[in-house]
Every structure is written in C-alpha cells, then in structure tokens.
Amino acid sequence: MAEISHNTAVNGNLIPKGTHDDTKPTLLLVLSSVRGSDNTPEWQRTLSKFNILYYDCKTVDEFCSRLQPGGPYANINAIVRTGWLKAGDFAHHLMFRGRPIELYPPSLQFVGCSGHGYDAADIEAISQRGIAYANTPDTCTEAVANTALHLVLNVYRYFTLAEHYTRSDRWLDSREIGPVAVDPCGQVLGIVGLGDIGMAIARKAAYALDMKIHYHNRKPRPVLEAKLPNGATYHDSVESLVRAADCICLACPLTEETRHMISAPLLAQIKDKKIRIVNIARGGLIDEDALLEAMYAGQVVGLGLDVHANEPGINPGLRDNYRTTVLPHIGVASQTTWSKFDEVNLNNLEEFFFGDKGKVTLVNRASIPA
C-alpha cells in the first residue's frame, strides 16, 4: 500500500501525494472556496482512506466529458461536495441533476453534499441509478435561525430603512419610522416548517422577542411544542396559519407542492389584514409578482428575504425599497456552519464505505439496498 503524505496547496486544499492504491475507494472531492479548516481528524482520515481526485472542471459539460469511459472520473466510487455551495468557481455547477446523472459510472456508489435542502439534486434519478445521496441536516441551523431572527425584528422595526437614512444624512426623514414601527412582543409568528431550523427560530423568537408561536407542518409536533415557553399552536393548512399570524416565516423545503406557497390567491384570502413575511428557505416559495402587488396595496407591511426567486440578484421592485430587508442568501454563512458541513459530509462518507450505513444521513434510504 502506497504511503500518502500531504501538504497545503492553492486555496489551502490538502493535496495527498502518492500513487493510486487499488485497495482504496476513489473519491471525487468538490471543494468550495469557502469551507472549514483542513486540520481536523475527519480530513486526515479521509485523506488516508481514499484515493482523492479534486474537481476542477470549468463547466458541467467538462464534468460530463470526464465521466465518460476512459475519462479521469470514469472509475470514481464517491463524490463529496462540501463547503458553501453558493461560493467559488463551481457555485453554478449543477452536478447532481440532468445529463451528469446519465453519465455517472457504474462504480459510483455514494454522493454527499452540504446543506439541509436538496432541491438542486434529482433524488429520484440518482436513486434509479442505485446511488446513495446524503445531505448534512442540522449543520447550519443556528446560523440560519439567527438570520431569521434578525429579519423578523427588521420587518417590525424597519432598521434597514433607518440605516439607509443615517448613511444618507437624512436624519430627520428617519422620524417617519416612528409611527409605523412595532415591537414584535405578543405578536403571532407563524412558521411554515417546524424542522431543525423552524424549531430554532421558534425558540429564539419566543424567548428573545416574546412572540407567540403558531406553525404549519406535515403533522403536529407536540414534543417540540412542549419545549417552547408557552407551547405552540398547530395549523393543518397554510391558509389557516396565514389567517392567524401577524408575521409568516418560511422555513420549509421547496417542492412542487410548496412552490409559490405565498401567492395572489392566498393573499386574497386575507386582503383586509396587514401581514409581515420572512423567507430564509427558498425563493421559489413566494410568487414575487404577487408579493410586490400586495406590498404596493399596503397589505404586506414588512418584508425580510434572504432568498430570492432568481438568484443571484433580487427582484428590481425590491432593490431600492429600503422598507424591506434583503440579504444575498447569506443566512448560512458562519464558520460554525462550514465546520459542521465538513464533519457530517466526511463522517457520512467514512461510515458508508467503512462503517455503519445506518448512521449515514441518507435522503434516499428507502430506495437504496442496505
């Protein structure tokens, strides 16, 4: 067995040196420019247990070419994509849907990718190829929940508008905020999706802002409700939740069923009610045209978005509206998150090939033989 030593190369990536070892699985490693430290036990074990190939394709077409028989990726056993998916040269490379899946080699057994969501992957097509797909749940919970708390406070207090006036030397204009600003204490926060992130948002809003928590989920979660200071109220539909809530916070996955969850028909059901909306999940959950109409009509009186329908970039109707708070899908951005992404991704990889597959956070477990 060849010995492997490693040193730090460009961008801080650890490059293993040595010959290919046929007794080890071959890993295609896709690294973001923003990620955790290389100096961890998980990285050391990965570098010692796998033959490593580093993804450096300029385009997805080049990736497809390298997957072809005889290509450099023709015999890979695993792909792991780790770090911040929205950063670096590969940010827009869709590697886990479309044509690449058709070209995955028969040797490929496992795909791991950072993040709670997996809407950028075609799980059904990957499963049909018999390939396991793992995400990294509960790794960016705190970072995203803290971002949501910031946005909730902003949709009530209009701090983004206040900062704009301050930086523009319009101190007196900022006084128009006084009559419309509201403290969120006692208000009903309606959370769509009481998963890890949704629950963290509920906890922070209840304890820090003294808000009442209502939620919609696929099913009630009484155990989680009991962990909140004043419990929580379950709604079996989004429509019911929107009627009850003062502020809606979207923390659910984007699926065909949830796409444009916030829509003109939904908003029409509460046309006589003023509401605030926060979205830290996926931009496609909101019909932005309907949202803008509701804002112009004075129905949506506070808006905080970390995600947008057409990223990168935001709707032109929001760009210069400082009554809204808009962020560049940065809720996840925390050193804590990057470290957890790597830890879970690499532990999943190691357990899949050398340990207990039952410990791997597989998205498609039901479709993959044990």
Helices (H) and strands (E) in the chain, counts: 13, 14
Task: Spell 63-88 as b/e; 16+ CB within 10 A means b.
Answer: bbebbeeeeebebbbbbbbbbbbbeb
Question: What's the one-letter identity of residue 201?
Answer: I
Report the greatest alpha carbon distance in the chain: 74
Angle formed by the axes of helices 141-157 and 196-209, nearest 10°: 50
- Rounded to whole angstroms, what are the CA distances from 63 to 30, 223, 285? 11, 45, 30
Active site residue 282: yes
Active site residue 99: no
Active-site annotation holder among 81, 93, 235, 282? 282
Question: What's the one-letter identity of residue 72?
Answer: P
Active-site annotation holder among 93, 216, 235, 329? 329
Question: What's the one-letter identity of residue 77?
Answer: N
Active site residue 256: no
Q: Could you tell me if 134 and 360 are in contact, meaning their C-beta atoms sit under 8 angstroms apart? A: yes
State phi, psi for 83 to the nearest 5 degrees: 95, -170
Active-site annotation holder among 20, 218, 311, 319? 311
**Collapsing DSSP states into helix, strand and coil, what is residue 364?**
coil
Where helices occur in 226-278 by DSSP H, the ranges are: 238-244, 264-268
Active site residue ranges: 282, 311, 329
